[in-house]
Structure 1
Amino acid sequence: MSGLRETFEAETTTGGDTLYQVQAPGSPLFAEAQPPRGSGLPAALFVHGLGGSTRNWEPLMAELAANVDGHAVDLPGFGQSPPPDDGDLSLDAHTRAVVDHLERSGRGPVHLFGNSLGGAVATRLAATRPDLVRTLTLISPALPELPPQTTAWPTGLLALPGAPAVIRRASRGGSFESQTQALLELCYGDPGSIPPERRALMVTEYRRRAQLPYALDVLSRSARGIVRAYTERGDHSLWRQAELVTAPTLLVYGLKDKLVGYRMARRASRAFADSRLMVLPHAGHVAMMEFPALVARRVRDFLAEIDGREK
């Protein structure tokens, strides 16, 4: 990382990973680097979903440490990254932040991974900046699904004006453990499979996040950005942009996903020109957290296929 020290303002070590900060226009961005198990590995960047953080990718990044030099970024307002100075949390703004990160770190083109909101960001980035993307792996990407499945409606309601105040009132008096459990019920196919030590870390992170004064506002405005992106038409439509992606694409869907319906897998397979599909029958919305070893195995096969094609 010596060549990046002029760009990165701070570096600290948390466990075996490195947390660092890059000063992007309007807001500093934090990212986490998984120490690679080897030299000269190809660069990869992981982008989390709505309400997530770099921690969502730690299990998969650890599994892939011998295959890629993986970094995960906290989108503006999420994880360790503060909200942007201009308050813009649209899909375009999140995409610009990831582009800024890649340009300032000089790590592109990368193997780009995205989950949920991060999948929409990754799709738009791959369509508009193909020079920065070598391959694309999308796990339950938030591409327009109209009408959405009924289990996704509460998430859509986050976009309504006044939603943060309603959520504050509704959650008042509830324990962080119960609120974390409700979130896990929404995102996991089987929340009961989460090891106790990892669940405890999730509760700690939920508590930290909930105590930030801007957390609900960032969540609501980012949800509003997704809803707005769902209504865009013409060349700015996410489905149209998916059709413009030239990077080889791996699509991962879970049959128990309550937020992104499996019915969208077939449409996505048709939209991305060079795609292949992985379906996990017992996974929910965050397959990379529930089944990191299975997802990593398929990713390794995918990367080996592309590497062989490029030689």
Structure 2
Amino acid sequence: MKRALLAPESDVNVPETLPPPWPGRPVTIDGTRTFVRYTPARAQAAEPALYVHGLGGSANNWIDLAYLMADRWDGHAIDLPGFGQSDPGHRYTIAALANRVIRYLEHSDRGPVHLVGNSLGGSVSVRVAGLRPDLVRTLTLVSPAMPFLDPRRSAQGRFAPFVLLPFANRLAAWRMGAMPIDDMFTMVIAACFAEPEALPEQRRIDARKEIELRYSVPHYPAAYVGCLRGLVTSFLRAYLPGANSLWRIAAKVTAPTLVIGGAHDQLVDTRVPAQVAKAIPDSRLLMLDNAGHVAQIERPQIVARAILGMLGENSEERAISTKSN
């Protein structure tokens, strides 16, 4: 593990106004629709990238970062099964979600890609990178939801025992139905951001629309509970013998990796990013004092600078290797 390098601010193409949500379309894979949003590259030499959102999120969680990276990357962002506009999944384990990402990469024939994951999408991306290194050029993890066993370290921790109940999805649906959208919006924003009041008005509008969508999708509670149950199960399994431990899989990752954490993260233990960076062989770590759980939304410019720093570092290493050969 080493310290992340930041590219100069001048390397980041900051828009004068916030970009709107990127257009997208459903892609049918194995008989199931996966919704994908596309951020067109601004350069011919751009390389493919894939963005994977977290629990309760969608492809729209990557609007700003995808724009900032479009000089280097041709970005796709997927809605995981049951979220956004994707069809529900048959299973919501980390393995099942990772398989959906792998099948999309195989179907689109875009690999290897620069893979970027946040929260749940981070643990999914670790599994993809560890088991299918042929599909991943670099790996960026923003507040990855890797295993930790102290429920006090997460705002969702007190709900963890309930997700193991067989009727947990019905409890979640009842809870959503009883909570007004405005209250849900306030709760989500407070949990995800270090400085909710600093969120631009347009992004507040976008976030509220995402929450309204959740209320209109009948399968959303089951998807949410299923994924949370999958996370809890993966956390428990990670400390047991066997090849399915996420920590053992992380140790197999060969792609250059950037791990980013927020000092005010209320959903993932703030000690986890450093543990992830130690587990992955070729890794660099960036902890942000003024960020919460979704630094790609809250601090997209510095996240982009850290990614560009990793890309520049790898370009220099390849140049040195070429000269020595």
Q: Considering the TM-score relative to the shorter chain, is it more than 0.5?
A: yes
- Cα deviations across residues 40-84 of structure 1 (Å, max 9, x unaligned)? 201110000111100001111011111111111111111110113
1:273 Cα offset (Å) = 0.4
Give the % identical residues.
39
Q: State yes or no: 1:35 paired with 2:40.
A: yes
The match for 1:301 among 301, 309, 325 is 309
Output the aligned Cα RMSD.
Answer: 1.7
1:261 Cα offset (Å) = 1.4
Please state whether the residue corresponding to 2:81 is helix, strand or coil: coil
Query: Runs (4+) of structure 1 moved beyond 6 Å?
Result: none
1:154 Cα offset (Å) = 4.0
Q: 1:188 matched to which residue of 2?
A: 193
Q: 1:116 matched to which residue of 2?
A: 119
Amino acid at match of 1:295: V
Q: State yes or no: 1:218 paired with 2:223.
A: yes
The match for 1:176 among 181, 197, 202 is 181
Matched positions, count: 296
Q: State yes or no: 1:125 paired with 2:133.
A: no
Q: 2:156 matched to which residue of 1?
A: 152
Please state whether the residue corresponding to 2:110 is helix, strand or coil: coil
Say if 1:158 and 1:130 are closer, same or farther in 2 by CA, change over 3 A: farther
Q: State yes or no: 1:99 paired with 2:126.
A: no
Q: How far, CA to CA, are the matches of 1:39 and 1:300 in structure 2?
A: 17
1:228 Cα offset (Å) = 1.2
Amino acid at match of 1:159: V
Structure 1 contact 45–112 (Cα < 8 Å) conserved: yes
Amino acid at match of 2:188: L
Please state whether the residue corresponding to 2:107 is helix, strand or coil: helix
Structure 2 contact 21–63 (Cα < 8 Å) conserved: no
Say if 1:175 and 1:258 are closer, same or farther in 2 by CA, change over 3 A: same
Amino acid at match of 2:272: M
Q: State yes or no: 1:139 paired with 2:147.
A: no
Unaligned runs of 5+ in 1: 1-13
Q: State yes or no: 1:17 paired with 2:22.
A: yes
1:268 Cα offset (Å) = 1.5
Q: How far, CA to CA, are the matches of 2:296 and 2:123 in structure 1?
A: 16
Say if 1:172 and 1:89 are closer, same or farther in 2 by CA, change over 3 A: closer
Please state whether the residue corresponding to 1:197 is helix, strand or coil: helix
Q: 2:300 matched to which residue of 1?
A: 292
1:157 Cα offset (Å) = 4.9
1:22 Cα offset (Å) = 1.9
Q: How far, CA to CA, are the matches of 1:296 and 1:118 in structure 2?
A: 18
Unaligned runs of 5+ in 2: 1-18, 320-325
Q: How does 1:192-203 map to 2 (within 5 A)?
A: 192-203=197-208
1:184 Cα offset (Å) = 1.0
The match for 1:166 among 171, 180, 204 is 171
Amino acid at match of 2:149: L
TM-score w.r.t. length of structure 2:
0.87
Q: How far, CA to CA, are the matches of 1:32 and 1:180 in structure 2?
A: 23
- Cα deviations across residues 199-237 of structure 1 (Å, max 9, x unaligned)? 122112211221111110111011111111112232210
1:150 Cα offset (Å) = 4.8
Structure 2 contact 88–223 (Cα < 8 Å) conserved: yes
Structure 1 contact 269–277 (Cα < 8 Å) conserved: yes
Structure 1 contact 158–219 (Cα < 8 Å) conserved: no
The match for 1:281 among 289, 310, 323 is 289
Q: How far, CA to CA, are the matches of 1:178 and 1:153 in structure 2?
A: 20
Structure 1 contact 256–283 (Cα < 8 Å) conserved: yes
Q: 1:255 matched to which residue of 2?
A: 263
Amino acid at match of 1:135: T
Structure 1 contact 17–35 (Cα < 8 Å) conserved: no
Q: How far, CA to CA, are the matches of 2:233 and 2:161 in structure 1?
A: 13
Q: 1:47 matched to which residue of 2?
A: 52
TM-score w.r.t. length of structure 1:
0.90
1:308 Cα offset (Å) = 2.4
Q: 1:5 matched to which residue of 2?
A: none
Structure 2 contact 84–213 (Cα < 8 Å) conserved: no
Q: How far, CA to CA, are the matches of 1:157 and 1:40 in structure 2?
A: 48
Structure 1 contact 158–223 (Cα < 8 Å) conserved: no
